[in-house]
Amino acid sequence: MNWVSAIVRWIAKLFEGKEPTCLPVPIDPTLPTVSQPVVVDSDPSPAPDPPPEPPVVAVTHDLPVLGVQHQSRFFHTPDGAVVDYREATAMGLYRLWLDDDRAKVDALLSYFKRRKINAIRPLFNLTSDYWMNLHRQNSHVDDGDYWWGQLVPFINHCASFGIYTRCCLFGGIERFVGHQLDWARRPDVVSDHPDVIAKMHAYTEQFVGTTRDLPSVLYEVANEPSQIGFATTRLWCDNSASVSRHSHRAV
pLDDT at residue 189 in the model: 83
pLDDT at residue 56 in the model: 44
Q: Which stretches does DSSP call E strand in the chain?
A: 67-68, 75-76, 87-89, 119-121, 164-170, 217-222
pLDDT at residue 60 in the model: 46
pLDDT at residue 135 in the model: 87
User: Helices 151-159 and 194-211 meet at what angle, rounded to 10?
Assistant: 50
Nearest partner of 189 among 219, 221, 225, 223, judged by Cα: 225
What residues form DSSP beta bridges with 120? 88, 165
Q: What sign for the dihedral angle of Cα 94, 100, 102, 107?
A: negative
Q: Which residues 6+ apart lie within 8 Å of 151 measured at CB?
A: 207, 210, 211
> What length is written for the chain?
251
pTM reported for the whole predicted model: 0.70
Average pLDDT for runs of 10 along the chain of length 251: 53 52 53 54 58 48 87 92 95 95 96 97 91 88 95 97 96 90 81 87 93 94 82 56 49 48
Identify the structural domains of the chain with CATH numbers, from first to last. 84-246 (3.20.20.80)
CB 121 within 8 A of CB 168: yes
pLDDT at residue 59 in the model: 44
